Amino acid sequence: MRAACPRCRQQSPMHLSAKDWNRRITDETFDYYRCAACGIVFLSPVPRDIGKYYPTAYYGIPASIADLVAVAELERYKIELVQRYATRGRLLEIGPATAPSLGSPSRPASTPSPSK
Ligand SMILES: [Zn+2]
């Protein structure tokens, strides 16, 4: 199976399949492809009715900066997971909603610390 990279249009091989283990909103399987030319991993096809995977209660809106910082702290495990594989350079986080995992109001960061 192959799909066109949304960034550079290169035909890309399937990289992995995944289910919604976090929210368990659906039992569907989603296919992700990895572009050999530019390196991005992308979902294909993107569901036309993607809204059904994001119900109204999907994101809680923190009432204060303190609440936002507390929520971000709960997301710290994601930083630790990323730092296992990305020990230097800069990271771009896409789609953190209201709970930033790579940075927070008290700890703006998108650069992992070098591991020694
Ligand atoms: Zn590409």
Q: Over the chain (116 residues), what is each successive 10-residue block's mean pLDDT?
A: 96 96 91 96 94 81 84 81 84 71 48 43
For residue 76, the number of C-alpha atoms closer than 13 Å in the C-beta half-sphere is 6
Which pLDDT belongs to residue 102?
56
Instruction: Provide the residue range defining the domain that includes 82.
Output: 59-88+95-107
Cα 23 to middle of ligand 1, angstroms: 29
Does residue 18 share a domain with residue 40? yes
Which pLDDT belongs to residue 91?
76
Does residue 35 share a domain with residue 1? yes
Q: How many domains does the chain have?
A: 2
pTM above 0.95, yes or no: no
Which pLDDT belongs to residue 77?
83
Cα 37 to middle of ligand 1, angstroms: 5
Which pLDDT belongs to residue 114?
45
Cα 44 to middle of ligand 1, angstroms: 13
